[in-house]
Structure 1
């Protein structure tokens, strides 16, 4: 193949995905003066908030902490309606951002990427979509995230159902009418738990199929008041500083104490306060040792179990809803209004799949070992191929034979949760080992900022290739493997280990070192000459 000149690319920076992180990556690239384009599989922007439009889909991070922080004007002008916004408002917000900063002309929708192949001789990526279009780019930022490939349960006959069947992660755009319908919800994670109370009062019957109970606690949502908006605006710098530096990426005030600082009676009173805390405040405002002291966590779990028994009137159902196999926080805890109360309704029931497994789905409904139930609608709230799903399906081929779909068969390995050795000029913020729990956009935008700053540095100093060294990658993965057993999210049967997907290797998919470790390793890299060998100038070789 004839070598192209250094400038013979269609675009300098190609972003894949127009979700929260992808929009920000595009903004940073355009702001820095790069030519940039985004390829988006959907017909609109929003990413997970474009696809997940099921009833009651909403943030479980406070709206103003999840949104963008790069513009004080944007922060002030968007008036969030609720502390935890619903999907329609989130989608409106992201479209507003795209239009306000004139990004839409750089976004091509309906362009699902099917291959991304590194051309080492010409030092560029050749990215092809389902439509057959190919884009040549110097740098690629794949902002496809960890929640973009819906996972359907491995159940016989799933395609035989004659009613309506929809995954919460691929919900139809037309409104689905649940009125008077018989509904099955398979899965009790955040999406399944959100849908149940949203439809229980209008359906004829709803059965929630639960494999493993989770520690579901109240979201404690509230309307946004003018006073709260004024406080946020007046304290914008403080808000940004806190969100950009706190380990969790939230504004929640810390408890300021350990469990041992309180008596048994004081701890029970404190747990009552935590029960009423908003969203992830159940974790971030809890005792400092809640995530490290097993006895403290067990005591809080018993407190939560008492709440469940006090809400659910049927004692058998209540016991089935109480987790017995993990501590609070070991799996991502759903934050939902009226979840347990829904099971007190006469038309709602819980099907415990550990006791009565599903045998098959047929044309009219679901058969378990207990019998058959007819349904009009089946909701698959069964999560995603978390962390790696989108990346391993994009046909990514790096240098020296690296094929992501093959090389990650036994689990992913990377640097910083967003780059790889033998994958030059390719970044995947929000990928495996990127987030450590907490407010995901804050972690991912940390990565995007570092990527954008690196591209600016490369351009200024004459570099046109970035690739982590094998030593940098090995150091990061050693940290992941060493600290994973100590992480609060260490339940190996959770999606954080890929355990929800049959056949997927059980590998820890978060950053157990948290945000502090991410910042530490990025500072180390940028403080060494030429980014410790990760940056390379190939201009003369490419132009030859």
Structure 2
């Protein structure tokens, strides 16, 4: 970059990552009057929506609730086609936003960060990319997110396969030809469940390898009508208020009642309504006690099991698709279309890895304990190194010798899910312990807004270093550890505990206190001396 400014840095705010959160962080920093730049590893903007371009990749939050809500003009200028948009439309939208607010000139693509080292004497971060670009910045906002490092299964022989192999989180930009191919999909989470129905009518044969079944339910997508669009625009202020204050960050109407208000027959009728509801409404519009009353959750699970048995014609396959190790919502439930129906096609099969584990991948296919199957294409729909993956691979070294790659080996320690003791002036919105489940961009917007306000406060009061104290971090982590067992997402074999990555220590990676606890703690901090106490060093007076 160009020569350093008078305060010894190339740029005041450096954003790492040009995904949904990073774009917003860059916009807020520039709008607040800071000099700011973004380094993005990909050759285009979009983050997860740049890399995840497999067939039928789409939102499972309503498009207009996942999108930016900081500008009514933007809200009205972009017209979403569907309640749940597909990847091409999402990527187009994010590029539209970048150009609409003149952000592109501040974004350097193809610049993957190799190291970020804090210079204590200079009170600045020195960030180096794999291309050799070096940037000195006063503040760093690492918006790398929790879903940015694809995880490949720990299976012998992955490199031996001579056919085509892809990960849903690193999909090629050129279309993949599935026509008349023999395909294996390893993984039945959201990406695997979306991909199967998208290709089943094209391929010669497709086998979905399932380790653990999940409660997959219909997305119930629909086009956005002119009437719906007009209502959203007319009620924009009301929409924003709900999205910025509700625990889930959705517009879904709550049930307004506990399960005990209904008879068993009425509950079955209610479950039918929930089955037909869109996306996450199956959680947010369900009975108030669906996440706290084990008996009512079990009853809902039995209702869902009945749906699976009624859709899937082969009873053995149907039974294999019914979870037995977790309640509804304990793992992130996929919301897709025609997933169960796909197994009725004669060219689709379900392979249970509980019954017949994979032994190895070889040159021509996959060998399980049952037999060998040959494939032309293998798709790894095995998710990500959630929460910490990108941060611990970025060469982050903070104050007093902190090395994030080793310091977080036993699980991350942080404050408010976006900052940490001994990481002065370094923020990571969307990182571990940031979200509590629900609509991720709404949580991340809260974090970016607080970070930006903090940078403005530092500028106005002559501070140039912010770092949460050890006591503040310890109090936050005590809350995480105390409330984690009560969280709906408390299945320790889920990716929310890092359980999908072999050898990763199982620690809860969400905020079990939810959005309310985040707002409460940040509000308490900014209203007391604890806030000014986190600014540990002031800029020298000229």
- TM bucket, shorter chain: over 0.9
- Once the 2 structures are TM-superposed, how far is the Cα of residue 537 of structure 1 from its aligned partner? 3.6
Q: Which residue of 2 aligns with 1:228?
A: 228
Q: Which residue of 2 aligns with 1:378?
A: 378
SS of the residue 1:14 aligns to = strand
Q: What is the TM-score when the length of structure 1 is the normalising length?
A: 0.98
Q: Does 1:246 align with 2:246?
A: yes
- Once the 2 structures are TM-superposed, how far is the Cα of residue 538 of structure 1 from its aligned partner? 3.1
Runs of 4+ with >2 A deviation: none
SS of the residue 2:209 aligns to = strand
SS of the residue 1:141 aligns to = strand
Distance across 2 between alignment mates of 1:8 and 1:424:
17
- Once the 2 structures are TM-superposed, how far is the Cα of residue 214 of structure 1 from its aligned partner? 0.1
Alpha-carbon spacing, 1:532–1:182, altered in 2? closer, same or farther (3 Å): same
Give the aligned CA root-mean-square deviation in angstroms: 1.0
Q: Which residue of 2 aligns with 1:517?
A: 517
- Once the 2 structures are TM-superposed, how far is the Cα of residue 212 of structure 1 from its aligned partner? 0.1
SS of the residue 2:224 aligns to = coil
Q: Which runs of 5+ in 2 are unaligned?
A: none
Which sits farther off after the overlay, 521-530 or 48-57?
521-530
SS of the residue 1:464 aligns to = strand
Q: Which residue of 1 aligns with 2:364?
A: 364
Distance across 1 between alignment mates of 2:239 and 2:232:
7
- Once the 2 structures are TM-superposed, how far is the Cα of residue 529 of structure 1 from its aligned partner? 2.9
Which sits farther off after the overlay, 226-235 or 532-541?
532-541
- Once the 2 structures are TM-superposed, how far is the Cα of residue 262 of structure 1 from its aligned partner? 0.3
Q: Which residue of 1 aligns with 2:135?
A: 135
- Once the 2 structures are TM-superposed, how far is the Cα of residue 461 of structure 1 from its aligned partner? 1.0
Distance across 2 between alignment mates of 1:367 and 1:70:
51
1:377-416 equivalence runs, <5 A: 377-416=377-416
- Once the 2 structures are TM-superposed, how far is the Cα of residue 6 of structure 1 from its aligned partner? 6.7
Cα offsets for 1:207-245 (capped at 9, x unmatched)? 000000000000000001100000000000000000000
Distance across 1 between alignment mates of 2:532 and 2:290:
38
Q: Does 1:526 align with 2:538?
A: no
Distance across 1 between alignment mates of 2:46 and 2:113:
17
Distance across 2 between alignment mates of 1:451 and 1:408:
22
Q: Which residue of 2 aligns with 1:119?
A: 119
- Once the 2 structures are TM-superposed, how far is the Cα of residue 5 of structure 1 from its aligned partner? 8.9
Q: Which residue of 2 aligns with 1:36?
A: 36
Contact 1:116 1:128 survives alignment (8 Å) = yes
- Once the 2 structures are TM-superposed, how far is the Cα of residue 87 of structure 1 from its aligned partner? 0.1
Q: How many residues align?
A: 539
- Once the 2 structures are TM-superposed, how far is the Cα of residue 539 of structure 1 from its aligned partner? 1.7
Distance across 1 between alignment mates of 2:368 and 2:266:
46
Distance across 1 between alignment mates of 2:6 and 2:282:
52
SS of the residue 2:159 aligns to = coil
Cα offsets for 1:342-394 (capped at 9, x unmatched)? 00000000000000000100011000011111100000000000000000000
Distance across 1 between alignment mates of 2:530 and 2:410:
32
Q: Which residue of 1 aligns with 2:180?
A: 180
Q: Which residue of 2 aligns with 1:53?
A: 53
Q: Which residue of 2 aligns with 1:282?
A: 282
1:386-535 equivalence runs, <5 A: 386-529=386-529, 531-535=531-535
- Once the 2 structures are TM-superposed, how far is the Cα of residue 536 of structure 1 from its aligned partner? 3.2
Distance across 1 between alignment mates of 2:128 and 2:193:
38
- Once the 2 structures are TM-superposed, how far is the Cα of residue 540 of structure 1 from its aligned partner? 2.1
SS of the residue 2:318 aligns to = helix
Contact 1:42 1:111 survives alignment (8 Å) = yes
